[in-house]
Amino acid sequence: MENTMLRKMKDDWEEFFFGNDNGEKELFESVTDMEANSQWIPGISSRDIRLEAIDGRPMFIQDEMRKYHLDDEDLVDETANLGTDLLIYTGVPTSSAAFRTHELVRNTAMDGIYAVAKLNGAALGRMTRSKYCECMNAAFEVARGTSLGLMRYGKLSGLQSGADGGYMIMPISKLMDISAESLSGRFGDIELRTGYNTHGLTYAVWLLPDAQNRLIEMYQDAIIRSGLDSQYPINFMPAALFQSSDTKSSCAILDPCFILPSGASLRFAEGVRIKHLRRSGRSEGIDLFAAEASNIFAKFEASVAAIAELSGIKIYNAENCLVGLCNKYGISKKYGDAAREEVSRISCGETYISAHDLYIAMSECIAEAERSNAKATVVNKIEESLMKIVQIRDFSEFDVGGLVSWSNSQAAA
């Protein structure tokens, strides 16, 4: 138990869960334990926030701990040498140790820190740590309003600005309960395919086997309506993808998707998207998420409409189109080349392929990342890039002749 707790205190903690008898139960337990070891700190005056760097050299660790009343040498050492190497002063008690004035900073809190300071840029990363803190603290001195902090497993793990009505706390465990109940109520038995939990992201994919026949029939009808054939047999498994984070100012998401034989999950339309923002006089937060999740079948209908549109679009220079899309949306050659080879296979001897088939082929980017044991955050980033690509209906910028090369940044990634 102690080893498990120590592991969860580190910035790079992550846990994976799979569709066995205990996978879903273990995922829910992981999220519940994470929330039990979390504490929200309201009312932090943004202009009182200050950052200080930790001297991580072994001979100074004990001095740093005494100076700032820190009590976990392993955590201090991990923060100084593998994490942010920063301490934060918030001006309010952030732990049971009321005398403590500073807390260690987790890497998941950095986006929020920059947002509160309204300061960011590549130059900050090139500064010495003392200059970096000096610059950030000058910005905090003129910051406005209050912020909401999140302490988790011994570190400040999130900082949310009070702007735009304020941050709405939506417990991830409750969002997952609502998702599972809405899916099973609408589609029958559901099965966890995979799950992931870390400080910055919680992710789950539920399969919908009882609804497969009906939803795949809708999928096939959409392709027939387009008037173009698909190179792929439509033998996919419908599913729903959930993700949320309470360390970022992002959305709680429940999206319809389809699982391909390669194992990749593809989304054709956005599903439920609820921001962590207060909305005066309107339904918000958990209640709004529950209302939207109860209408998840309509999100599958929107996916089918998107499939019909994509199936009717002709792509004449498929490999060039794929490379151009990867360059623009940040998918590296390391993962995109597998998709390029798949596009070459399905377009061989063909005058054109449909945008639908191009998108299916691009799922190889996800499959290749998973085969390469890429971090779940990398896979998630590719999925989000594909979600942007699937919304395109005019491919003229990418469907060009000649030779389109990988951009230098993507080729080197």
What's the whole-number mean pLDDT along residues 97-113?
Answer: 82
SS3 annotation, the chain: CHHHHHHHHCCCCEEEEECCCCHHHHHHHHHHHHHHCEEEEEEEEHHHCEEEECCCCHHHHHHHHHHHCCCCHHHHHHHHHCCCCEEEECCCCCCCCCCCCEEEECHHHHHHHHHHHCCCCHHHHHCCHHHHHHHHHHHHHCCCCEEEEEEECCEEEEEEECCCCCECCCCHHHHHHHHHHHHHHHHCCCEEEEEEEECCCEEEEEECHHHHHHHHHHHHHHHHHHCCCCCCCCCCEEEEEEEECCCCCCEEEEEEEEECCCCCEECCCCCEEEECECCCCCCCHHHHHHHHHCCHHHHHHHHHHHHHHHHCCEECCHHHHHHHHHHHHCCCHHHHHHHHHHHHHHHCCCCCEEHHHHHHHHHHHHHHHHHCCCCHHHHHHHHHHHHHHCCCCCCCCCCCCCCCCCCHHHHHC
Domain assignment of residue 371, yes or no = yes
Number of domains in the chain: 3
Last residue of a domain, one of 281, 311, 341: 311
Last residue of a domain, one of 278, 311, 344: 311
Are residues 195 and 109 part of one domain? no
Q: Give the chain's mean pLDDT.
A: 90
Domain assignment of residue 1, yes or no = no
As a whole-number percent, the residues of the chain with pLDDT over 70 amount to 94
Domain assignment of residue 191, yes or no = yes
pLDDT at 1: 43
Domain assignment of residue 22, yes or no = no
Instruction: Please give the residue that has the higher pLDDT: either 81 or 28.
Output: 28
Are residues 271 and 321 part of one domain? no
Domain assignment of residue 11, yes or no = no
Q: What is the pLDDT of residues 23-77, one digit of tens each?
A: 999 999 999 999 999 999 988 899 999 999 988 888 888 888 888 888 888 888 8
Are residues 121 and 62 part of one domain? yes
Last residue of a domain, one of 251, 283, 311: 311
Are residues 349 and 403 part of one domain? yes
Are residues 43 and 148 part of one domain? yes
Are residues 128 and 205 part of one domain? no
Domain assignment of residue 213, yes or no = yes
Domain assignment of residue 10, yes or no = no
pLDDT at 83: 80
Are residues 345 and 270 part of one domain? no
Q: What is the pLDDT of residues 301-351, one digit of tens each?
A: 999 999 999 999 999 999 999 999 999 999 999 999 999 999 999 999 999
pLDDT at 376: 82
Are residues 239 and 134 part of one domain? no
pLDDT grade, residue 165 (50/70/90)? low
Range of the domain at 239: 172-311
Are residues 283 and 327 part of one domain? no
Domain assignment of residue 19, yes or no = no
Which pTM value belongs to this model? 0.89
Are residues 238 and 201 part of one domain? yes
Are residues 239 and 193 part of one domain? yes
Are residues 275 and 206 part of one domain? yes
